[in-house]
Structure 1
Amino acid sequence: MEIFQKAMETMSPADDEMWWGTLGTVRPFPNFNSERDAREVQVALEKKDMNTLVRVLTNRTNAQRQLVAQAYRSLAGKELSAMLKKCLTGGLQDLLLGLMMTPSQFDAHRLRQAMEGLGTDEETLLEVLCTRSREQLKEIIVVYNQEFGRYLENDLISETSKDFTKLLLAILTKEQENLPGVIDYELIDRDVKTLAEAVNGKKVDSAPWIKVLTTRDADHLDRVLLRLESVKGETVDKMIHNHFSGDLRLGLRTLVHSIQNTPLYLAHRLHNSIKKGAAVRGILVSRSEEDLLSVRVEYRRLAQVSLYSALQKEFKGDLQQAYLALCQAEDV
């Protein structure tokens, strides 16, 4: 940790430049100093200075925020997240607490919240599970158990049913069966035939769709889905809509959309859920260091208005400023 902290805090401008080739909107803060940030945050908490809290915590990467939390613990003898929870309320509290979690903690909490209480938020379950890599999912499983003393797989089984449960578990534990980076034309042909035959008869078989879509890499599936559309003469989305129903239909459509174009899928989700703080918070926090620039581009094309403007219109005050800081800029 000490070596990592020293490297982060002595990052040169040249080192910082490499981050600007990424598709995230939040980049390493130049001349970062965790102790200085911790002192500034401590004063802001004492004065209930929301503007400073937002400015500092939304303009640091997650790795830098973890170092600020560590420095704050040494300085104040208290946990930063606990103090934020005590000082803040509402949407701003939820957002800043989310920013202070590690990515896997944040995803684990989103999944738990989607299954707590009455009813299940299937869209959030699908968003998280369908847009994370196999390695990320393995980490989420471990962290979910650490955070809640529960097993994610068991909770998914108890909160969902039938083929939808099978789909979620297959996504969660997906094991890639084809070699990444290798174009296997025979396997592509077999997969196309398998998917087509599963929806040709009167009785639709969901098992082949679940297996193929959760055991192949994205490049392979892109080729399979394009070929399938050519063979069937209709979009895969329309096939799923016509042959499946209920939560399974939602799950298969979400999985296909995320495979074909993850940023576009997330843009659609933001556009449809802009009034739902949890969905907006989830995407902005989890994608801010990954591909939020691409999501912004797709949102602009989809909605004919920038994500920045949509956030500016929908939210007010300190929460608005925090979301705009994560979004970073207007797209014209």
Structure 2
Amino acid sequence: HEQIGNRGTVTEAAGFNADTDAEKLKAAMKGAGTDEAAIIAILAHRTIAQRQRIKEAYKRTVGKDLAEDLSSELSGHFKSVVLGLLMLAPVYDAYELRHAMKGAGTEEACLIDILASRSNAEINAINAVYKTEYGKTLEDDICGDTSGMFKRVLVSLITAGRDESNNVNEAQAVQDAKEIYEAGEARWGTDETKFLTILCVRNRTHHNLIKREMSGSLEDIFLAIVKCMKSKPAFFAERLYKSMKGLGTTDTVLIRIMVARAEIDMLDIKAQFLKMYGKTLYSFIKGDTSGDYRKILLELCGSEQK
């Protein structure tokens, strides 16, 4: 139960006392109004493991569920961030996947962002949590909610069959490229299953071939897989940038990445963001959000400088 990464902006709080934190959170919700600043000060500066201990202490001392109490006190995007912070990583991922498929329509971006970027071990944990929490498998829900090649790629990702080693066999790589090329250009249409096997199982590919041969969600997921292989921080930096640039903000994407990566690689994501876009992630968030929602995201983002 320690930190889940070592490149995060959120690190273990020194002199941590779960009972004291639980007491402060209880006080923050007492009487009329809510002390949002106190909630931010605690939750944005504790690791996921420490937040679990605060939840246990709250249950023990107050006799109630911390997430439920906060849920009834807070609202909007701020509430989404706070509730996300209280969940274990695979629980949050499973929750997000479930909500991306519930109701009318499917938030493909969520399925892509999570499934293309998580390791085999993380995928296994998500699968286990999903089954426990929702009574059916993630694969069942994905099969019921998506179709065609897109579905097949998602299923191949959740069976966690990716080769995560870095030893690239040159001759094999050339053979792969040849197979992709022949399946694509030398024939009408694309034998996408070959793309699929080569990509998901052997971990490498040719960017422009994907762009040329595919469209829509299928192209999105293949590009995401490739980008995550090259650099997860760069992949997330781009997703964050796209969630905020131009008019409006895709808050679901912004929240999901800020919550999920705060303890893992937020420092690297910030560095990539600056390198790729010449502006800080901090300044983007500041300009695109407001109120307590902005405050908690900026705390998760960490200092503007580094």
The TM-score with structure 1 as length reference comes to 0.85
Give the match for residue 184 of structure 2: 199
Q: Return 5+ residue gaps in structure 1 as ranges.
A: 9-18, 226-235
Q: 1:284 is aligned with what amino acid?
A: M
The 3 A distance-change label for structure 1 pair 260 and 125 is same
Give the match for residue 214 of structure 2: 244
The TM-score with structure 2 as length reference comes to 0.92
Residues 73-222 of structure 1 aligned to structure 2 (within 5 Å): 73-176=59-162, 180-201=165-186, 202-216=188-202, 221=204
Alignment partner of 1:294 out of 247, 258, 268: 268
Contact kept in structure 2, 1:312 and 1:324, CA below 8 Å: yes
Q: 2:295 is aligned with what amino acid?
A: Q
Q: 1:308 is aligned with what amino acid?
A: Y
1:262 aligned onto 2:232: yes
Deviation track 1:95-122 (CA, whole Å, cap 9, x = no partner) reads: 1011001101100111111112221111
Residues 45-56 of structure 1 aligned to structure 2 (within 5 Å): 45-47=29-31, 48-56=34-42
1:31 aligned onto 2:5: no
| d(CA) in 2 for partners of 1:206, 1:174 | 19
Count of aligned residue pairs for this structure pair? 298
| d(CA) in 1 for partners of 2:280, 2:219 | 30
Deviation track 1:59-101 (CA, whole Å, cap 9, x = no partner) reads: 0000000001001111001110011111111111111011001
Contact kept in structure 2, 1:296 and 1:331, CA below 8 Å: no
For residue 170 of structure 1, report the CA deviation from its aligned partner: 0.6
Q: 1:46 is aligned with what amino acid?
A: K
Contact kept in structure 2, 1:25 and 1:292, CA below 8 Å: yes
| d(CA) in 2 for partners of 1:190, 1:63 | 45
Contact kept in structure 2, 1:297 and 1:331, CA below 8 Å: no
| d(CA) in 1 for partners of 2:118, 2:53 | 25
- Percentage of identical aligned residues: 30
| d(CA) in 1 for partners of 2:45, 2:262 | 11
Contact kept in structure 1, 2:163 and 2:200, CA below 8 Å: no
Deviates more, 1:312-321 or 1:49-58: 312-321
Q: 1:185 is aligned with what amino acid?
A: E
| d(CA) in 1 for partners of 2:174, 2:79 | 51
1:309 aligned onto 2:293: no
| d(CA) in 2 for partners of 1:129, 1:176 | 12
Does 1 or 2 have the higher relative contact order (CA < 8 Å, sep 6+)? 2
| d(CA) in 2 for partners of 1:318, 1:175 | 41
| d(CA) in 2 for partners of 1:181, 1:296 | 25
